[in-house]
């Protein structure tokens, strides 16, 4: 992230204290003022419309759904996914970007997606499921980059 955004304030949030400890351990002193890591399960405490870009990379997924023989998702709940991405989307400023990759659900199936325009696609490497849990047909690429109106 820092290589791509040399001057940005960057905040990383993860539910895992172990992973946050690894991130903090890797943080260079020179980065400390503009890079933060936080243990957390949601971004509900963040102010609205403050971030230029919010990325959720390989978070909304389950390894056992990676088996292409799975036709029904009984492991992840769409409503929880929708609540989480709605919280994330709230923190994106108008004109900013939301990135969703390697998810087992589609951002475009959520109500909050109406506030965004899809502006980028990427190779789809994870099986996708609809709101009811039914497996969607395989697709070569997926919507991945969303611009907030
Ligand atoms: C497959 S890793 C991906 C990590 C990183 N985003 C990347 O692309 O390398 C998934 C991460 O999501 C975190 N995670 C899972 N559920 C979460 C939640 N509800 N809130 C915050 N982080 C969560 C896990 O602890 C894990 O670090």
Q: pLDDT (tens digit, 0 to 9) for every residue of the chain, 149 residues total?
A: 889 999 999 999 999 999 999 999 999 887 888 999 999 999 999 999 999 999 999 999 999 998 878 999 999 999 999 999 999 999 999 999 999 999 999 999 999 999 999 999 999 999 999 999 999 999 999 999 999 99
Residues contacting residue 113 through CB under 8 Å, at least 6 positions apart: 89, 107, 146
**Residues 6 or more apart whose Cβ sits within 8 Å of residue 74:** 133
Rounded CA gap, 70 and 127, in Å? 9
* Ligand 1 site, residue 58, Cβ cutoff 6 A: yes
Q: Which residues contact 64 (CB under 8 A, 6 or more apart)?
A: 70, 75
Q: Which residue out of 14, 20, 84, 102 has the highest number of ligand 1 atoms within 8 Å of its CB and is therefore the one to mutate?
A: 14
Give Cβ neighbours of residue 25 (< 8 Å, ≥ 6 apart): none
pTM value > 0.85: yes
Residue owning the nearest CA to atom 7 of ligand 1: 57
């Amino acid at each position: 992230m820092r290589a791509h955004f040399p001057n940005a304030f960057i905040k990383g949030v993860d539910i895992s204290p172990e992973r946050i400890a690894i991130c903090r351990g890797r943080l260079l002193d020179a980065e400390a003022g503009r890079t933060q890591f936080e243990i957390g399960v949601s971004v509900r405490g963040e102010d609205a419309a403050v971030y230029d870009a919010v990325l959720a990379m390989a978070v909304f997924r389950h390894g056992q759904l990676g088996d292409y023989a799975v036709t029904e998702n009984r492991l992840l709940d769409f409503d929880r996914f929708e609540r989480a991405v709605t919280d994330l989307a709230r923190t994106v400023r108008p004109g900013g970007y939301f990135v969703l990759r390697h998810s087992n659900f589609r951002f475009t199936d959520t109500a909050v997606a109406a506030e965004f325009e899809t502006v980028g696609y990427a190779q789809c490497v994870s099986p996708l499921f609809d709101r009811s849990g039914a497996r969607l047909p395989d697709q070569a690429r997926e919507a991945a980059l969303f611009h907030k109106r």
